[in-house]
């Protein structure tokens, strides 16, 4: 099974702002994990807060991908991309 990755317009913009080598590393991470994993939750961690488990974080070095996992379509919807010091701020 292969997971599909979709980026929100904001996440795509965040990705374009990053250095190319970092952006490639993030995309490679998603592609490799999506091909090998049956469950997208197995390589991420749930975010804590008001709705635990509604959003997931994926760690790639000092960078984070924040997204939702949609089981019925086998989609990881990335909603935010950024450095760990900034990505959790509103």
Relative to beta strand 56-60, strand 45-46 is antiparallel
Structural domains in the chain, CATH included, are 4-83 (3.30.2310.20)
pLDDT category of residue 90 using cuts at 50, 70 and 90:
low
Q: What pLDDT digit, counting tens, does each position of 62-83 carry? A: 999 998 888 776 778 888 898 9
More confident residue, 46 or 3: 46
Q: What is residue 1's predicted lDDT score, i.e. its pLDDT?
A: 59
- How deeply is 81 buried, as exposed, middle or buried, from its count of CB atoms within 10 A (0-12, 13-18, 19+)? buried
Dump pLDDT digits (tens) for 36-51: 777 788 888 998 876 7
Q: Given the structure tokens 């749930």, which residue do they identify?
A: 46
């Amino acid at each position: 099974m292969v997971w599909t990755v979709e980026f929100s317009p904001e996440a795509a913009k965040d990705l374009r702002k990053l250095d190319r080598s970092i952006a490639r590393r993030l995309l490679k991470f998603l592609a490799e994990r999506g091909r090998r994993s049956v469950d997208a939750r197995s390589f991420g961690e749930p975010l804590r807060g008001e709705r635990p488990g509604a959003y997931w974080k994926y760690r790639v070095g000092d960078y984070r991908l924040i997204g939702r996992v949609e089981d019925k379509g086998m989609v990881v919807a990335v909603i935010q991309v950024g450095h760990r010091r900034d990505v959790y701020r509103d």
